[in-house]
Amino acid sequence: MIAMLLGAAALVVGIGQKTFWAPPETVTANMPQLTDEAPLTLIESSVNSPKLDPVELVITAKGEFTASLGRDYDVAAWIGDAAHVSVTGIDTENHKMIAEYTKGKGEVPNPAGADIFFDSQTADKTMTYRWTAPDTGDWSLLLAAGGKDAAPVDISVTYANDDAMPFAVPLIIAGSVLLVFGLALLIMRPAKPKTGTNTQHSVAVAAVLALAISGVSLPMAPSDDSSASPSESAQKSDEAKKSDDSKKPEDEKASEEAPSSASASSSVEETASFPVITEEQLKRVLADAQEQISKADDKTSSKALDSRSAGAFKYLRNKRYEMLKEKFKVDKPLALTTQVIRSAAVPNASEAKFPRVISVVTAKNNDADTLPQALTLVQENARDNFKVVFAGQMLPNSTFPGIAVGDPSTTQLKADSKGLQMTPEKALEALAKVLSDDGAKEKSKFAKSDFIAAVHSAQKDEAKAANEAKVTYKRSVTEGDTKVVSTPDGGAIVTGKLNNKARFIRTEDADPLESKDKLTEQLLGSSSSNGDVESTYAEPVMFYLPADGSKDKIQLISASQVLLDVKEVD
């Protein structure tokens, strides 16, 4: 009876600890009181601990605010020297959040919707945020109320409660054993005294029954070949393995060990390499770039170009707007089509310092007959959005390496980077010489191109139509417009702009120079000239530059020639 009473008591206490005495399934931690205000509140990745999964944040503010999720190093770069409150973790023992204030500038731009963030959510006064990382790596959450007002600091975090009743299960098991044991003794108690053997047998049966009911397994009898203890067997197995390994040649042992080492190294490298922008972010960026530039084209507005264009692209777009406003005979700018991403050279963040560069090939659909466009975009700093610096249709028979977003072997390079057939800046200079002179020695380094052939043909026609005037071409590379991204095969995608000045120098007895087209006549202000004439062109280009040692040739991907000005010169 005593065993049964003890068992019943143990069961009640054990079950109680799992039910009516059990702690709450979740627990909430609150922010400490802070005296200083800041325009930003940073919730670091350590708050989203896997041990506390799932983590749910409740954020309260006086008015509207945003929560923007980004990779921890990108969020830190965006914050820069701004004052901010950092939430660095959770004290799970005391159920309090750990936070600190960092001095800095009191106003920042509104981070909502910035390209560097994976996502931005807006709420009015209250937001319940279930933290889910979109990809591997560490992610941080940035709170802001427009950048001028104080960011929310009234934050609570609810997470799974890991406080447990450690004796609940042992008490339930012990109680069950005692109850069964006591019940067995009660049932099997003999009416008359029995021999000691029978009594011991009854107790054994009850014990086995109790153990079986409580889920404790009994060891099976050892087999004939397992008489040694587990530790002895393991020791013998290890000794036998070492003996076999010692008989193997060194190169054979090395070959067995190498794959695991290489695999581990590769796994670490892949884990640490993250693209500067995810595919979802890239799609959003390209869609917005197409929308904003289309609006600027409709209005021929230079100001409207500012949000999504820079460099050579913006310069040439503005020139075209000026010509259109002055009623020059010129086509509208090429409209961007970014609905489908065909390929994307997106460098990983380890080498992509600001400004960051990406090159992509896009199209309006997946039709194989659709002529794709090649684009290069640049992000000057963490707070700036990506802007188009190059856009042009791909040339016939040209190719762009098929690269997936996030390929860890894609890196950002400089204009003077080594490891290629020549540095990118030298390759641009070589292209300038080839375009200016059909017989340039550098021509052998370039693959056959319809664009190069068309330029040479046009220059020959100009020379013939120059009425005995001497024609010279002088090309130079625009500094600052050269952007380079590596490809997985060790080559690179190079974007740049050439300046071309074509000068027509008349002899004393030569006939007047005649305008060859309506645009030339409009820019010159006359249909002919008795003096020397200089035409200025811009030639934005993108090409593939092979790796050093490759037998491949430099291949033009996209290129165009834009007439900017025609004037008489002394």
- For 420, which DSSP code? B
pLDDT single digits (tens) 522-564: 988 888 888 889 999 999 999 999 999 999 999 999 999 999 9
Q: Own/partner pairs for 8-12, CB < 8 Å, 24+ apart?
A: 8/175, 8/179, 9/175, 10/171, 10/172, 10/174, 10/175, 10/178, 11/171, 11/172, 11/175, 11/176, 11/179, 12/175
pLDDT single digits (tens) 400-413: 999 998 898 999 99
Kindly report whether the peptide bond that precedes residue 355 is cis, defined as omega within 30 degrees of 0: yes
- Is residue 501 within 8 A of residue 534, CB to CB? The reply is yes
pLDDT band per the 50, 70, 90 thresholds, residue 517: confident
Task: Return the residue matching tokens 């400490």.
Answer: 32
What pLDDT is stored for residue 136 in this prediction? Answer: 87
What pLDDT is stored for residue 10 in this prediction? Answer: 56
Instruction: Enter the tokens of residue 11.
Output: 């069961």
- pTM confidence score: 0.78
Task: Return the residue matching tokens 């999504």.
Answer: 308
Output the average pLDDT for the chain. 82
What pLDDT is stored for residue 385 in this prediction? Answer: 97
pLDDT band per the 50, 70, 90 thresholds, residue 428: very high
Instruction: Enter the tokens of residue 316.
Output: 């040439």
What pLDDT is stored for residue 205 in this prediction? Answer: 45
**What proportion of the chain, given as a percentage, has pLDDT over 90?**
58
Lowest mean pLDDT across 118-122, 216-220, 334-338: 216-220
Q: What is the Cα–Cα distance from 527 to 515, expressed in whole angstroms?
A: 5
Instruction: Enter the tokens of residue 423.
Output: 């540095």
Q: What is the Cα–Cα distance from 326 to 329, expressed in whole angstroms?
A: 9
pLDDT at 299 over 50: yes
Q: Which residue has the higher pLDDT, 369 or 501?
A: 501
Instruction: Enter the tokens of residue 117.
Output: 């963030």
Lowest mean pLDDT across 84-93, 132-141, 199-208: 199-208
Lowest mean pLDDT across 202-211, 452-461, 496-505, 525-534: 202-211
pLDDT single digits (tens) 6-27: 656 655 555 655 555 556 667 8
- Is residue 361 within 8 A of residue 372, CB to CB? The reply is yes
Most trustworthy range by pLDDT among 35-39, 293-297, 530-534 = 293-297
Query: Averaged over 431-459, what is the pLDDT?
Result: 96
Strand order from edge to edge, sheet including 373-379: 340-345, 356-363, 373-379, 387-393
Q: Own/partner pairs for 307-310, CB < 8 Å, 24+ apart?
A: 307/385, 307/387, 308/385, 308/386, 308/387, 308/388, 309/387, 309/388, 309/389, 310/378, 310/380, 310/387, 310/388, 310/389
pLDDT single digits (tens) 312-350: 999 999 999 999 999 898 999 999 999 999 999 999 987
What pLDDT is stored for residue 374 in this prediction? Answer: 98
Lowest mean pLDDT across 8-12, 160-164, 196-200, 536-540: 196-200
pLDDT at 242 over 50: no
pLDDT band per the 50, 70, 90 thresholds, residue 257: very low
Q: What is the Cα–Cα distance from 86 to 155, expressed in whole angstroms?
A: 12
Q: What is the Cα–Cα distance from 481 to 497, expressed in whole angstroms?
A: 6
Instruction: Enter the tokens of residue 182.
Output: 């006591």
- Is residue 439 within 8 A of residue 421, CB to CB? The reply is no
- Is residue 565 within 8 A of residue 499, CB to CB? The reply is no
pLDDT band per the 50, 70, 90 thresholds, residue 508: confident
Query: Averaged over 30-45, what is the pLDDT?
Result: 93
pLDDT band per the 50, 70, 90 thresholds, residue 293: very high
Q: Which residue has the higher pLDDT, 134 or 419?
A: 419
Query: Averaged over 356-365, what is the pLDDT?
Result: 96
Contacts of 66 by beta carbon, 8 Å cutoff, 6+ apart: 110, 111, 112, 120, 121, 122, 123, 143, 144, 145
CA atoms in the 13 A half-sphere facing the CB of 410: 26
- Checking DSSP bridges between strand 555-559 and strand 562-569, what pairing results, if any? unpaired
pLDDT single digits (tens) 147-158: 999 999 999 988
Give me the sign of the Cα torsion angle 433, 439, 441, 442.
positive
Neighbouring-strand partners of residue 517:
none
Collapsing DSSP states into helix, strand and coil, what is residue 21?
Answer: coil
pLDDT at 190 over 70: no
Query: Averaged over 41-67, what is the pLDDT?
Result: 88
What pLDDT is stored for residue 462 in this prediction? Answer: 87
Task: Return the residue matching tokens 């005692």.
Answer: 178
Lowest mean pLDDT across 132-136, 200-204, 345-349: 200-204
Query: Averaged over 349-363, what is the pLDDT?
Result: 90
Q: At what angle do helices 168-188 and 196-213 cross, to 10 degrees?
A: 150
Lowest mean pLDDT across 58-67, 339-348, 451-460, 521-530: 521-530
pLDDT band per the 50, 70, 90 thresholds, residue 185: low
Angle at 345 between CA 44 and CA 285, to 5 degrees: 60
What pLDDT is stored for residue 376 in this prediction? Answer: 98
* Residue type at position 1: M
pLDDT at 216 over 50: no
pLDDT band per the 50, 70, 90 thresholds, residue 140: very high
Most trustworthy range by pLDDT among 9-23, 350-364, 411-425 = 411-425
What pLDDT is stored for residue 217 in this prediction? Answer: 37
Q: What is the Cα–Cα distance from 262 to 252, expressed in whole angstroms?
A: 16
Instruction: Give the other-Cβ count within 10 Å of 181's Cβ.
Output: 22
Instruction: Give the other-Cβ count within 10 Å of 409's Cβ.
Output: 14
Q: What is the Cα–Cα distance from 538 to 558, expressed in whole angstroms?
A: 14
What pLDDT is stored for residue 350 in this prediction? Answer: 76
Instruction: Enter the tokens of residue 2.
Output: 């005593």
